[in-house]
């Protein structure tokens, strides 16, 4: 668990006020801390880094950030689902796996 001060310290020009705004907008959702602050997990810090990069490095407009985050979340969810499907297929007997792969090849050609 990482306190808010440690998260802000990771980014040279990120102010606590700006991070608080991101939390209020639900762009990042750390756990509430006992002192009224927040406690960040590594995944939360990664989300802050993403938002920081979107705003600073890529100059994504503030009103566009929710759309970009939503689309990225969908991509990440699809990747997780595909990994799950892949693991499931890998666990099937070889003849069934071969049929599935052949069907996927046919679909890809269409």
Considering the chain, what percentage of its residues have pLDDT values greater than 70?
100
Confidence band, pLDDT 50/70/90 cuts, at residue 23: very high
pLDDT in the model for residue 81: 98
Q: Under the phi-then-psi rule, with left for phi > 0, alpha for psi from -120 to 50, and beta for the rest, what region is 44?
A: alpha
pLDDT in the model for residue 47: 98
Q: Is the domain 1-60 a CATH 1.10.1660 member?
A: yes
What's the mean per-residue pLDDT of the chain?
A: 95
Note if the pTM is more than 0.85. no
Number of other residues whose CB lies within 10 A of the CB of residue 45: 17
Contact (CB, 8 A) for 2 and 41: yes
Domain positions in the chain: 1-60, 63-110
């Amino acid at each position: 668990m990482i306190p808010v001060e440690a998260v802000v310290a990771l980014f040279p020009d990120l102010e606590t006020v700006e991070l608080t705004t991101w939390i209020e907008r639900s762009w990042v959702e750390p756990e509430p801390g006992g002192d009224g602050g927040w406690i960040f997990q590594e995944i939360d810090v990664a989300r802050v880094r993403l938002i920081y990069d979107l705003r600073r490095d890529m100059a994504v407009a503030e009103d566009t950030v929710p759309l970009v985050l939503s689309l990225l979340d969908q991509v990440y969810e699809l990747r997780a689902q595909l990994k799950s499907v892949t693991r499931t297929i890998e666990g099937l007997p070889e003849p069934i796996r071969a049929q599935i792969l052949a069907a996927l090849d046919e679909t890809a050609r269409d």
